[in-house]
Amino acid sequence: MAFPALGKNLLERPNHNFRFYDTLVVVFVTVLLISNLIGPKICAIGPFRISGAQLLFPITYIFGDIFTEVYGYAGSRRAIWLGFFGSALMAVFGMIAVWLPPAPDFRHQEAFEIVFGFVPRMVAASLLAYWAGEFANSYVMARMKVWTRGRALWMRTIGSTAVGQMVDSAVVMTVAFGWRESWMTILNLILSGYLGKVLYEAAMTPVTYLVVDGLKRAEGVDIYDVATNFSPFATGREGEAFVALEPQPGAGGAD
C-alpha cells in the first residue's frame, strides 16, 4: 500500500492495539442513550424551544468525527453499530417494561410511561436517522481526510457534520411526522434543528482539535482510508494506510 503524497512513515497492516478506543466507545454509547432518554422534554431558552436531546445528541457527531479521524472508518463503523444496537435494545425493553402490568403497590406507572413509553414510529425514525446520519458523517470525514491529505481538520469536521446532520434531520422529521404534520412544518423542524446542530459542531471545533491531536499522539498512528470498503456492513480494516507518527507537537495533523 502506498500513499507517497503524505510524506510519512507507512505501516503495512500493523498489529496495533489502541489504548483509548474502547473507553471512547463506552462514553459515546452512554451519551447516545442519555440523549434518547431526555429527548422528550421540550426546553425553553428565551423564545426558542429545543428538545432536551439537543443538549447532548450533537456530541455524538463530534465523537463520530473523532472516531473516523483517529481510528479510521472501520473504527467509526464499529462504534456506530454498537450505538445502534444499544439504542434499539433500550427502546425494545423500555416498551416491554411499560406494557407489563404494574404491581398493585407500584404508584408511578404514568411517570414510568412518560420516560420509557417509546412510540414505535419515533423509535424507527430515530434509529434510521441515527444510522444514516452517522454513516454519512463518517464517510464524508474519511474521504475528505484523504482528499486534504490530513490537513484542515476544521473543514472536515464541519463539512462532514453538515452532511450527516442534514441526513439525520431530514430522515427523523420526515419519518416521525410525515403525513401527520404539514410539509412546511416538517421543513421548518428540519432546518431549525439542522442549523443548531451545525453551529454546535462549529463552536466545539477547538475542543475537537485538542482531543484529536492528543489521541493521535497517544495512539502513535494516523489512519487514512485510501482504499477502504465503505459499506456499513463490511468488517475488518482492509484499505487503511497506517501512518506512524513522530512523538512531537502537532503530530495530530490538525492544522
User: Is beta strand 9-11 parallel, antiparallel or unpaired with respect to 241-244?
Assistant: antiparallel
**Is position 249 within any domain?**
no
- Work out the percent of the chain whose per-residue pLDDT is above 70: 87
Q: What mean pLDDT do residues 231-250 have?
A: 75
Domain residue limits at 88: 4-102+110-244
**Is position 221 within any domain?**
yes
**Is position 10 within any domain?**
yes
**Is position 252 within any domain?**
no
The whole-number pLDDT of residue 14 equals 65
The whole-number pLDDT of residue 88 equals 93
Q: Coil, helix or strand for 43?
A: strand
User: What is the C-alpha to C-alpha distance for residues 112 and 59, in angstroms, rounded to an integer?
Assistant: 27
**Is position 253 within any domain?**
no
Number of domains in the chain: 1
The tens digit of pLDDT for each residue in 25-43 reads 999 999 989 888 887 676 7
Residue 61's nearest CA partner among 18, 28, 21 is 28
Give the type of residue at 222. D
**Is position 251 within any domain?**
no
The whole-number pLDDT of residue 9 equals 64
Q: What is the sign, positive or negative, of the torsion defined by CA atoms of 197, 198, 204, 209?
A: positive
Q: What is the mean pLDDT of the chain?
A: 84
Residue 52 — pLDDT band, cuts 50, 70, 90? confident
| CA 21 to chain CA centroid, nearest Å | 14
- 225 or 182, higher pLDDT: 225
- 247 or 37, higher pLDDT: 37
Residue 78 burial (10 A CB sphere; 0-12, 13-18, 19+): middle
User: What is the C-alpha to C-alpha distance for residues 99 and 81, in angstroms, rounded to an integer?
Assistant: 27
Q: Which long-range contacts (CB under 8 A, 24 or more apart) does 94-101 make?
A: 94/118, 95/120, 95/123
**Is position 158 within any domain?**
yes
- The CATH number assigned to the domain holding 167 equals 1.10.1760.20
**Is position 255 within any domain?**
no
